[in-house]
Amino acid sequence: MPLIYADLVWLLNFCFDAMLLWLAAIMLKRRVRLWRLMLAALFGSLLVLLVFTPFAYMMSHIVTKLIISFFIVWICFGFSRFRFFIENVLAFYFATFVMGGGMVAFHFLLQSELTMYRSGWISHSTSISWLFVVVMFPVLWMLSKAQMGTIREKKLRFEHIIDVRVTCFGQTVLLKGLVDSGNQLRDPLTNTPVMIVEWQPFAHMLPAAVLQMIHKCVYTDDIPSEWVSRMRFIPYRAVGVEQQLLVAIKPDDVQWLDDKRWMSVNKALIGFSPATLSADGEYKCIVHPHIVMSQAS
């Protein structure tokens, strides 16, 4: 008969409950007091000890598990309103399923690999060892925490990405634009906000002389006459780069999509960047915040 150490079972469950609650707080960006988190983990872990009592049958019932999880979440996050409480419960369940499913997946993955290459040495038992759980749980927790941070960053960026269309000489280009509050670039003469775009989507309409100026930042007299009145040179300074001139044009029209309605921009210049603005192609232009704020107001 195997020997079971109740104190180790309690300690393991206490640590797991605490880390699951912490992961749920990270997902929902909740500010949790440490003493509440520890008290909730202590409550959940002490109930595990009922497995070693005649009341063990109660712990296996789904209603008991639901009630215990509700109490754990209530102790940790409190109860301000019903929706707030349900969000916390679902996040706690999600963290539990992610961690549990991840450990099972890694277990069977590693077991199949070891069985394939060392079939003469490893046992084919499907039981998950305590050592595996103790090692893999923190690893999966850190991976999940890092992934949650990436998801939040992506969500934050996509909340500020809008559809933009630029019309020049009767040709329209559709772009994904990032509304960046750090972009305060304006024409020093007219105070017109400048929207920075990648040059590639406009390559089919730009004359060779203009493309040469974009890449070399050197003025040339070969610009077609219809482009001369549209051309602007905007001084700008980037981080770690000396002051340069950005080649810009005055378009016929600039619009951005507000929900399902296209909003026209009264004044805007289009500055061409010779470099790629987004490494993963999420957006092709950086929208001046004044362009969006002025129209929204």
| H/E segment holding residue 286 | strand 285-287
Query: Is 187 a residue of the active site?
Result: no
In whole angstroms, give the CA distance from residue 47 to residue 163. 53
Coil/strand/helix, residue 92: helix
Residue type present at position 246? L
Q: Is 211 exposed, middle or buried (0-12, 13-18, 19+ CB in 10 A)?
A: middle
Retrieve residue 197's tokens: 């775009």
Tell me if 202 sits within 8 A of 173, measured CB to CB: yes
Catalytic residue among 180, 252, 253, 259: 180
Pairing of strands 194-198, 253-258: unpaired
* Cα radius of gyration (the chain): 30
Using CA atoms of 54, 60, 61, 64 in order, give the dihedral in degrees to the nearest 10: 80
Burial of 45 (0-12, 13-18, 19+ CB in 10 A): buried
Q: Which residues are catalytic?
A: 180
